[in-house]
């Protein structure tokens, strides 16, 4: 059922907010006043409610069924966390209130930092990055600052201007490295889906600033040689940046600090369950090693005798840092949710999180491997199971087709065509918050689909989805002739721009 746009409603001139009649008319502002129509329809409250509730029902959500997006980690979002984030003492405080009036907020940031540092075994953390990619930026800039301080800046005589990144990495890794001025060099991957140590060794040298390794990696595998990787990196005078997107697979069982990591961002939504919210907001605190700690950006919280203090400008050694990443102190709303989640689980619950996430993924892998081709059949996977499209050969069904057919079964598709190192990749991450009952339901549906694909029922896949709010969308058309906003139809008398 088509839901019109708000601009197609009859809300021109209406409002759904009752405000007192202003006495000011803005005449004191003279020419500065906006005279033309703005082009914003208003809806009465019942209309607005209905519009957005109707729209909402066109979405899939983790609260409706498994959302097995590999690498994205769609897990249950506890409502306790939402409730806590809405306590007026957290949601209704201003970032620039006197610090004496926000001692509880600073305490919360301090507590969050304590949990993150303890879980990762790292001595410092920069809280302010606003998302994972922002955290990568923060980490690489700290690395850059450290090299500069040591005389190996990009414009020095002996510049360290390369960053090594495995082929299987998230796109944000090379994007970030390039963004801060590094040349990106790819590291090869072994047949069993790990970093090729030989290739790494060959490429490490005094021009390398850092390696960026995701661990567990995007194939869902733990880098077995991780200690060797970090030793070699450090021996070469480079830093080890770890993409922490998959920290949820090892939290409570492995501390990145024990692996020799120098910097790692933590996507709070992935490991600590802040809601994805249709694409954000995220939060990406970065834990730092002793070596990088002095290069953290402002602000940070220090605890003293007379309470907590927020340092908003770097002084002393810290002034070597690169400044600040955003206007205020980062994603406070997400800090509250993440701490609420961590306190709820405790150290025992968090370890169980990793174990159940890994168990669930291996269960799916085990139950589907007879019909579908696991990309790395040997040994266990971590929190996600990776298949390739080898098993679809000769069926005329592609990974995309298969994914769209999953929609008709009531499931969100898995991640597809990522990581790039695997042909027609299908990356399935169930997370720890799926029950065995739901996994079995999912597995049965996947098996039935796989059998249908092999049995030649091509139309079921090519035409899919059939039972969704819309059929398959024409993405090419959208990109070729971009229509990025509503405009009034010609001849309409709408008082819009």
Partner 1 sequence: MRYLPLTPDDRSAMLAAIGAKSIDDLFVDVPEAARREGFVDLPRVAGELQVERALGAMAGRNVAAGSVPFFCGAGAYKHHVPATVDHVIQRSEFLTSYTPYQPEIAQGTLQYLYEFQTQVANLTGMPVANASLYDGSTAMAEGVLMATRVTRRNKAVISGGVHPHYVAATETVVHAVGVETQVLPAAVDAEADVIAQIGPDTACVVVQTPNVFGTATDVTKIAEAAHAAGALLIVVVTEAVSMGLLKSPGEMGADIVAAEGQSIGNALNFGGPYVGLFACREKLIRQMPGRLTGETVDADGERGFVLTLSTREQHIRRDKATSNICTNSGLCTLAFTIHMSLLGETGLRRLALLNHEAAVKTRDALAAIPGVEVLTPRFFNEFAVRLPKPASEVVERLAEKRILAGVPYGRLAPAAGMDDVLLVAATEITTDADIATLKSALAEVL
Site for a copy of itself in 410-429 (CB under 8 A): 410
Query: In terms of DSSP bridges, do strands 263-265 and 239-243 run parallel, antiparallel, or are they unpaired?
Result: parallel
Least gap, CB of 75 to a copy of itself (angstroms): 8
Spell 354-368 as b/e; 16+ CB within 10 A means b.
Answer: bbbbbbbbbbbbebb
Task: Return the closest-CA partner of residue 187 out of 155, 225, 150.
Answer: 225
Only one of the segments 74-82, 145-153, 172-180, 314-322 lies at the binding site for a copy of itself (rule: CB under 8 A); that segment is 74-82
Q: Does 46 bind a copy of itself (CB under 8 A)?
A: yes
Q: For 112, phi and psi rounded to 5 degrees?
A: -60, -45
> Which 3 state secondary structure label does DSSP give 339?
helix
Report how far apart, in Å, the C-alpha atoms of 266 and of each of 50, 138, 406, 487 are: 37, 12, 30, 41
Query: In terms of DSSP bridges, do strands 208-214 and 162-166 run parallel, antiparallel, or are they unpaired?
Result: parallel
**Contact with a copy of itself (CB under 8 A) among 100, 437, 476, 493:** 437
Task: Return the closest-CA partner of residue 382 out of 220, 146, 267.
Answer: 220
352 makes contact, choosing from a copy of itself, partner 1, none, with CB < 5 to 8 Å by partner type, with: partner 1
* CA dist., res. 251 & res. 255, Å (int): 7
Report how far apart, in Å, the C-alpha atoms of 16 and of each of 3, 12, 19, 22, 43 are: 19, 12, 10, 17, 5
1 makes contact, choosing from partner 1, a copy of itself, none, with CB < 5 to 8 Å by partner type, with: a copy of itself
139 makes contact, choosing from partner 1, a copy of itself, none, with CB < 5 to 8 Å by partner type, with: none
Of 313 and 466, which has the nearer Cβ to a copy of itself? Answer: 466
* CA dist., res. 405 & res. 471, Å (int): 11
**Contact with a copy of itself (CB under 8 A) among 58, 79, 158, 253:** 79
Helix (H) or strand (E) holding 394: none
**Contact with a copy of itself (CB under 8 A) among 49, 178, 343, 495:** 49
Least gap, CB of 165 to partner 1 (angstroms): 9
Interaction residues for partner 1, span 466-485 (CB under 8 A): 468-475, 477-479, 482-485
Q: How many residues bind a copy of itself (CB under 8 A)?
A: 29
Residues with Cβ within 8 Å of residue 120, at least 6 apart in sequence: 247, 255, 256, 257, 261, 264, 266, 287
Q: Does 64 bind a copy of itself (CB under 8 A)?
A: yes
Least gap, CB of 446 to a copy of itself (angstroms): 17
Interaction residues for a copy of itself, span 3-22 (CB under 8 A): 9-10, 18
Least gap, CB of 489 to partner 1 (angstroms): 13
65 makes contact, choosing from partner 1, a copy of itself, none, with CB < 5 to 8 Å by partner type, with: a copy of itself
Only one of the segments 195-203, 204-212, 329-337, 449-457 lies at the binding site for partner 1 (rule: CB under 8 A); that segment is 329-337
303 makes contact, choosing from a copy of itself, partner 1, none, with CB < 5 to 8 Å by partner type, with: none
> Which 3 state secondary structure label does DSSP give 187?
strand
Give the number of residues written for the chain. Answer: 497
Q: Does 258 bind partner 1 (CB under 8 A)?
A: yes
Q: Does 120 bind a copy of itself (CB under 8 A)?
A: no
Interaction residues for a copy of itself, span 122-181 (CB under 8 A): none
Least gap, CB of 269 to partner 1 (angstroms): 9
Asked if residues 427 and 71 have their Cβ atoms less than 8 Å apart, the reply is yes
376 makes contact, choosing from a copy of itself, partner 1, none, with CB < 5 to 8 Å by partner type, with: none
> Which 3 state secondary structure label does DSSP give 427?
strand
Least gap, CB of 333 to a copy of itself (angstroms): 18
* CA dist., res. 168 & res. 213, Å (int): 9
**Contact with a copy of itself (CB under 8 A) among 15, 26, 37, 54:** 54
**Contact with partner 1 (CB under 8 A) among 242, 320, 398, 404:** 404
**Sheet-wide strand order for 162-166:** 124-126, 286-288, 263-265, 239-243, 208-214, 162-166, 183-187
491 makes contact, choosing from a copy of itself, partner 1, none, with CB < 5 to 8 Å by partner type, with: none
**Contact with partner 1 (CB under 8 A) among 123, 159, 237, 465:** 465
Interaction residues for partner 1, span 222-241 (CB under 8 A): 222-224, 226-227
Task: Return the closest-CA partner of residue 201 out of 177, 225, 174.
Answer: 225
Q: Does 247 bind partner 1 (CB under 8 A)?
A: no
Least gap, CB of 104 to a copy of itself (angstroms): 18
Q: Does 448 bind a copy of itself (CB under 8 A)?
A: no
Interaction residues for partner 1, span 21-80 (CB under 8 A): 21-26, 28-34, 36-49, 51-53, 55-64, 67, 69, 72, 74, 76-80
Of 202 and 486, which has the nearer Cβ to partner 1? Answer: 486
Angle at 172 between CA 413 and CA 416, to 5 degrees: 20
Query: Is-cis flag, bond preceding 419, omega within 30?
Result: yes
Query: Is-cis flag, bond preceding 431, omega within 30?
Result: no
Query: In terms of DSSP bridges, do strands 183-187 and 307-311 run parallel, antiparallel, or are they unpaired?
Result: unpaired
Find the largest Cα–Cα distance for the chain. 76
Q: Does 355 bind a copy of itself (CB under 8 A)?
A: no
Chain residues that interact with a copy of itself, rule: CB under 8 A: 1, 9-10, 18, 44-47, 49-50, 53-54, 57, 61, 63-65, 75-76, 78-79, 344, 410, 433-438
């Amino acid at each position: 059922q088509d839901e019109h746009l708000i601009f197609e409603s009859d809300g021109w001139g209406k409002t759904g907010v009752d405000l007192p009649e202003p006495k000011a008319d803005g005449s004191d502002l003279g020419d500065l006043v906006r005279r033309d129509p703005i082009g914003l329809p208003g809806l009465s409250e019942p209309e607005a409610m209905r519009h957005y509730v109707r729209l909402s029902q066109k979405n899939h959500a983790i609260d409706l069924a498994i959302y097995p997006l590999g690498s994205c980690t769609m897990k249950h979002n506890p409502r306790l966390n939402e409730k806590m984030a809405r306590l007026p003492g957290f949601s209704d405080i201003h970032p620039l209130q006197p610090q004496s009036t926000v001692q509880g907020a600073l305490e919360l940031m301090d507590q969050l930092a304590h949990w993150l540092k303890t879980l990762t075994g790292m001595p410092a953390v920069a809280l302010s990055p606003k998302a994972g990619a922002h955290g990568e930026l923060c980490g690489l800039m700290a690395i850059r600052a450290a090299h500069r301080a040591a005389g190996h800046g990009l414009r020095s005589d002996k510049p360290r201007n390369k960053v090594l990144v495995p082929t299987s990495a998230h796109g944000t890794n090379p994007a970030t490295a390039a963004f801060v001025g590094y040349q990106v060099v790819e590291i090869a991957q072994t047949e069993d889906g790990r970093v090729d140590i030989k290739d790494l060794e060959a490429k490490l040298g005094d021009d390398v600033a850092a390696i960026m390794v995701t661990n567990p990696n995007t194939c869902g595998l733990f880098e077995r040689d991780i200690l060797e990787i970090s030793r070699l990196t450090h021996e070469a005078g480079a830093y080890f940046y770890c993409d922490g997107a998959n920290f949820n697979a090892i939290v409570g069982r492995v501390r990145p600090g024990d692996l020799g990591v120098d910097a790692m961002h933590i996507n709070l939504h992935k490991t600590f369950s802040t809601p994805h919210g249709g694409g954000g907001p995220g939060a990406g605190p970065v834990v730092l090693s002793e070596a990088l700690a002095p290069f953290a950006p402002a602000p940070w919280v220090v605890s003293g005798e007379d309470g907590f203090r927020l340092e908003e400008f770097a002084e002393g050694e810290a002034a070597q840092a690169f400044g600040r990443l955003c206007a205020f102190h980062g994603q406070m709303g997400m800090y509250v949710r993440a701490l609420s989640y961590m306190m709820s689980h405790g150290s025992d619950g968090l370890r169980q999180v990793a174990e159940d996430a890994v168990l669930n993924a291996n269960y799916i892998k085990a139950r589907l491997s007879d019909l579908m081709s696991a990309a790395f059949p040997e040994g266990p996977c971590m929190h996600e199971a990776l298949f390739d499209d080898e098993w679809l050969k000769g069926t005329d069904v592609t990974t995309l087709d298969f994914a769209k057919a999953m929609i008709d079964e009531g499931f969100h598709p898995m991640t597809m065509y990522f990581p790039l190192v695997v042909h027609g990749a299908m990356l399935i991450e169930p997370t720890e918050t799926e029950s065995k009952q739901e996994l079995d339901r999912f597995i049965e549906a996947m098996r039935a689909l796989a059998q249908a694909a092999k049995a030649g029922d091509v139309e079921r896949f090519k035409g899919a989805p059939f039972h969704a709010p819309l059929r398959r969308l024409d993405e090419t058309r959208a990109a070729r002739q971009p229509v990025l906003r509503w405009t009034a139809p010609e001849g309409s008398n709408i008082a819009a721009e």
